[in-house]
Amino acid sequence: MFEKGFLTQVKKRKTDWLEKKYSQAVERFTERKKRFETNAGIEIDPLYTPDNLEKENYFEKISFPGEFPYTRGSYPIGYRSRYWQPRGYCGFGTSEETNERLKFALQQGEPGLNVIVDLPTSYHGIDADDPRAEGEVGKTGVSINSIEDMRDLFEGIPIDRISITFNTTGLVIMAMYFAMARERGVPFKNLWGTALNNPLASYVSCNSACLPIPEDALRELTDIVEFAVRNLPKWNPMNIGSYEYRENGANAIQELAFMFGNAMAYTDSFIHRGLDFDEFAPKYVFYTSVQTNLFEEIAKFRAARRIWAMIARDRYKAKNPASMIFRIHAQTSGFSMTAEQPLNNIVRETIQSLAAALGGTNSLYTNSYDEALCLPTEEALRTAMRVQQIIMEESGVADTIDPLGGSYYVETLTNKMEERVCRLIKEIDDRGGMVKAIESGWVQSECERSIATYMDRVEKGEIVVVGYNKYQIDEPVQYGVFSVDPKYELKQRNRLKKLRAERNKEEVSKALDMLREAAKGNENMMIPCMEAARARATFGEMTEAIYGQMRSFRSQFKDLKMKMYA
Amino acid sequence: MSNGRKLRVLLAKPGLDGHDLGIKLVARALRNAGMEVVYTGLNITPEETVTVSIQESVDVIGVSYLSGSHLLLTEKIMGILKEKDAGHFKLVVGGIIPEEDIQKLKQMGVAEVFRPGTSVKEIADSIGRMVC
């Protein structure tokens, strides 16, 4: 990147500066720490200069926005046409209540709608009238038990013209949505949106009771992706997420490596099914966490784009440039929020959102400052959205593309991040891939090791968390309340009771039998599941029909945890 | 502890919520404080919580709630403890618990409620003091 003579001169003067000026200053004032490092442990020098990029080939490693290897951005235009997409989620009570909220969000000019589903539905596949669901129905999201709930959820909303996002993993909810669209007469080719569908991360965050073994989970995901690739050109069937890993303790390096581990396991499964990489990879969206260590996070986004471009080109021989583009959805870190002095969390959110913007994210969700205390209040949700809008409209950081590109420090950190992530990806390969790495418990224990080290350092005060282990005050902690009225649970149970009474029982049981057969064999489960949804089978019934035929990971996983913690 | 054996604690996460980083860190802290910890994993039912506590003959049961189902599930656990004549267990609750529910939980017989901001050391000390 630089001429030899210039570099020789820089190196010489840098050595002089370090040995004379800087050492003298250190002698006089001493450094704050013995070692400066990023959260993931990458050592930080006092100063970065052109010689740090001595070996850098600008065209190969940095290049231009929208050009291989995409270090400077996924698309040529950056934020000069549109900002990143701000995202907010909504969902509570029954589909009727959430429908009102969705319509309100549309009126406010939100570009897409994001539906969050309650715990019984999304993680456990049980209906509102299941005894295990008591007290949880419609609480942390909307309760969806049947195609009729799905119909009422989107009543009056133009699902053929706006993007819809579900925070769910699994085929049943997709089948219900697609079947609802068909009943409404909306052609599949017009359906636009995405769903989380990131099953491998669930083995670490372990938030699903009906988790099959990874092999079966991959088959279910492949059914979804195959159906979407063949029928829904505007639907992104999955988000390859690392948020769960990061929030369960992984550092930024592990986060990326595990995310690419997932991506490769999914990709291999789709290729094995006979799908073409260049057909499905352009639909990939990656979903990352963003924490407060500003430059490390910026470097993480930049490195991630470069690493994925290399994986797509070299490992999967991509020919379509769209297959090599790393599209990012980022979410600020719930883990970093403190219960102490909760307003401080707005500052954390701001730094994290700024990191995502400077890193070139394509969409962003900002958490609420009261997350450590309660389900978000209206005020906290609004403030989270304002954090993004202030960065967009007032800070000016979106006015040029990749403003930190060429920074000696950021480019060096991007290279170091890439190097460490690739080393860890190699280790995942050596362990036989991500599925084996999860089955053996290695990924889980890596996350746990990181979080244990982190917490030890926080407890010793080596890592400062403002308001928690430094600058504490005596304060009455302001806990919010859970504002979801229990009457919605009752309402949902009544809706379900009515559905069960009015549907054609014979038709339902026939459709469920077909779904069970499909799950047992190799047939794609999407069509029979859509048929069961049409016949008014419930979410719980369809989940049971599918997972009842699969091998459960759960008991095995429980033992693993017992072993680690007992 | 009084009879010379290690204090035994069962940690459980009843209900459907899957956020268990907090309880895992507590598990680690209690173990570092010299206690024996049995962690049941997620989504355990109130019945299972009590059954495992009896089988493992623990001294203290710790449960964590983050999704707002603390009153309902704690009441169930307490009911089953009484049914099984196992009222001698100390039950402690951790997680996101609104102010007005603390008294309600204590009236049910909960020995202590630990909310966000409580350090793991405070939790370990408090549990240690409970069974001396």
Tokens (6 digits) for A338 = 């403190």
Looking at CA atoms only, how far is residue B82 from chain A in angstroms?
A: 21
pLDDT digit string (tens) for A93-105? 999 999 998 998 8
Residue A396 Cα to chain centre, angstroms: 26
A-chain residues near B68 (CB < 8 A): 135-136, 139-140, 375, 482, 484
Does A248 sit within 8 Å of B45, measured CB to CB? no
B-chain residues near A448 (CB < 8 A): 24
Q: What is the mean pLDDT of residues A448-466?
A: 89
Under 8 Å between Cβ of A89 and A365: yes
Residue A263 Cα to chain centre, angstroms: 13
**What is the length of chain A?**
566
Q: Pick A209's closest partner by Cβ from B11, B25, B43.
A: B43
Coil, strand or helix at A76: coil
Of A124-133, A391-400, A488-497, A522-531, the poorest mean pLDDT is in A124-133
- With CA atoms as reference, the chain B residue closest to A206 would be B18
A-chain residues near B11 (CB < 8 A): 565
Q: How far apart are CA A464 and CA A114, in angstroms?
A: 35
pLDDT for A226 equals 97
pLDDT for A344 equals 96
Does B69 sit within 8 Å of A479, measured CB to CB? no
pLDDT for A434 equals 96
User: Bigger pLDDT: A385 or B20?
Assistant: A385
Dihedral angle over CA of B32, B33, B35, B39, nearest 10: -50
Does B31 sit within 8 Å of A561, measured CB to CB? no
Does A134 sit within 8 Å of B31, measured CB to CB? no
Which residue spans within A291-445 are E strands per DSSP? 328-332, 363-365
Under 8 Å between Cβ of A478 and A467: no
pLDDT at A23 over 80: yes
Does B16 sit within 8 Å of A133, measured CB to CB? yes
Q: How far apart are CA A236 and CA A195, in angstroms?
A: 7
Exposure letters B28-66 (e unless 16+ CB within 10 A, then b): bbbbebebbbbbbbbbbbbeebbebbeeeebbbbbbbbb
Under 8 Å between Cβ of A528 and A515: yes
pLDDT at A562 over 50: no
Q: How far apart are CA A168 and CA A282, in angstroms?
A: 21
CA atoms within 13 A on the CB side of B58: 27
Q: Pick B72's closest partner by Cβ from A135, A208, A479.
A: A135
Q: What is the mean pLDDT of residues A462-475?
A: 91
Inter-chain contacts counted by CB atoms under 8 A, chains A and B: 108
Tokens (6 digits) for A403 = 């403003």
Place of tokens 């940095």: A62
Phi-psi group of A249: left, alpha or beta (phi > 0 → left; psi -120 to 50 → alpha; rest → beta) = left
Looking at CA atoms only, how far is residue B103 from chain A in angstroms?
A: 14
Tokens (6 digits) for A412 = 């060096």
Does A373 sit within 8 Å of B68, measured CB to CB? no
Provide the percentage of residues in chain A whose pLDDT is more than 70. Answer: 95
Dihedral angle over CA of B91, B95, B100, B102, nearest 10: 20
Question: How many CB atoms neighbour CB B87 within 10 A?
Answer: 11
Q: Please list the residues that pair with A540 across neighbouring strands.
A: none
pLDDT for A46 equals 97
Does A207 sit within 8 Å of B41, measured CB to CB? no
Which A-chain residues 444-473 have CB contacts (< 8 A) with chain B?
A: 448, 451-452, 455, 459, 468
Could you tell me where the DSSP H helices lie in A110-237? Answer: 119-122, 147-153, 171-184, 202-205, 214-231
Under the banding of pLDDT at 50, 70 and 90, the label for residue A137 is very high
B-chain residues near A557 (CB < 8 A): 41
pLDDT at A406 over 60: yes
Q: How far apart are CA B126 and CA A508, in angstroms?
A: 54
- Please classify residue B126 by burial: count the beta carbons closer than 10 Å to its beta carbon, then call 0-12 exposed, 13-18 middle and 19+ buried: middle
Could you tell me the sign of the dihedral formed by the alpha carbons of A161, A166, A169, A172, in that order? Answer: negative
pLDDT digit string (tens) for B67-96? 888 998 999 999 999 999 888 889 999 998
Of A185-194, A290-299, B20-29, the poorest mean pLDDT is in B20-29
Does A340 sit within 8 Å of B99, measured CB to CB? no
pLDDT digit string (tens) for A53-98? 999 999 999 999 999 999 999 999 999 999 998 877 788 899 999 9
Coil, strand or helix at A541: helix
Looking at CA atoms only, how far is residue B128 from chain A in angstroms?
A: 18
Place of tokens 């009261």: A370
- Name the residue type at position A71: T
pLDDT at A136 over 90: no
pLDDT at A478 over 70: no
Does B117 sit within 8 Å of A557, measured CB to CB? no
User: Bigger pLDDT: A266 or A89?
Assistant: A266
User: Bigger pLDDT: B132 or A310?
Assistant: A310
User: Bigger pLDDT: A485 or A113?
Assistant: A113
> Domain segments of chain A: what residues?
1-85+254-334+342-443, 92-230+472-566
Question: How many CB atoms neighbour CB A76 within 10 A?
Answer: 13
Q: How far apart are CA A78 and CA A402, in angstroms?
A: 8
User: Bigger pLDDT: A110 or A202?
Assistant: A202
pLDDT at A563 over 80: no
Q: Pick B42's closest partner by Cβ from A206, A338, A484.
A: A206
B6 has a chain A CB within 8 A of its CB? no
User: Which homologous superfamily does the CATH classification assign to the domain defined by A1-85+254-334+342-443?
Assistant: Methylmalonyl-CoA mutase (3.20.20.240)
- With CA atoms as reference, the chain A residue closest to B34 would be A566
B43 has a chain A CB within 8 A of its CB? yes
pLDDT at A207 over 60: no
Which A-chain residues 207-236 have CB contacts (< 8 A) with chain B?
A: 207-209
pLDDT for B1 equals 45
At a CB cut-off of 8 Å and minimum separation 6, what does B83 contact? Answer: none
A479 has a chain B CB within 8 A of its CB? yes
Residue A377 Cα to chain centre, angstroms: 23
At a CB cut-off of 8 Å and minimum separation 6, what does A160 contact? Answer: A186, A187, A190, A191, A192
B79 has a chain A CB within 8 A of its CB? no
pLDDT for A88 equals 76
pLDDT for A139 equals 85
pLDDT for A448 equals 85
Phi-psi group of B23: left, alpha or beta (phi > 0 → left; psi -120 to 50 → alpha; rest → beta) = alpha
Does the fold of domain A92-230+472-566 match that of domain A1-85+254-334+342-443? Answer: yes
3-state percent breakdown (helix, strand, coil) of chain B, nearest 5: 45, 25, 35
pLDDT for A479 equals 63
Q: Pick A482's closest partner by Cβ from B36, B68, B73.
A: B68
Peptide bond into A69 cis (omega under 30): yes
Q: How far apart are CA A435 and CA A423, in angstroms?
A: 18
- Assign domain A92-230+472-566 one CATH number from 2.60.40.1180, 3.20.20.240, 3.40.50.1950, 1.20.1560.10: 3.20.20.240
Dihedral angle over CA of B92, B94, B98, B101, nearest 10: -20
- With CA atoms as reference, the chain A residue closest to B117 would be A339
- Name the residue type at position A226: E
Under 8 Å between Cβ of A74 and A325: yes
One-letter-per-residue 3-state SS of A78-106:
CCCCCCCEEECCECCCCHHHHHHHHHHHH
Does B15 sit within 8 Å of A135, measured CB to CB? yes
pLDDT for A202 equals 83
Of A205-209, A367-371, B20-24, the poorest mean pLDDT is in A205-209
B27 has a chain A CB within 8 A of its CB? yes
- Please classify residue A249 by burial: count the beta carbons closer than 10 Å to its beta carbon, then call 0-12 exposed, 13-18 middle and 19+ buried: buried
Place of tokens 């569908």: A197
Average confidence score pLDDT of chain A: 92
Q: How far apart are CA A285 and CA A240, in angstroms?
A: 6
pLDDT digit string (tens) for A212-257? 889 999 999 999 999 999 999 999 999 999 999 999 899 999 999 9
User: Bigger pLDDT: A108 or A152?
Assistant: A152
pLDDT for A208 equals 59
Tokens (6 digits) for A292 = 């407060």
- With CA atoms as reference, the chain B residue closest to A558 would be B41
Q: What is the mean pLDDT of residues A98-121?
A: 87
pLDDT digit string (tens) for A315-358? 999 999 999 999 999 999 998 999 889 999 999 999 999 999 99
pLDDT for B100 equals 86
B65 has a chain A CB within 8 A of its CB? no
pLDDT for A224 equals 98
- With CA atoms as reference, the chain A residue closest to B66 would be A374
A441 has a chain B CB within 8 A of its CB? no
Question: ipTM score of the complex?
Answer: 0.71
pLDDT for A236 equals 95
Does A565 sit within 8 Å of B16, measured CB to CB? no
Q: How far apart are CA A14 and CA A48, in angstroms?
A: 9
Coil, strand or helix at A198: coil
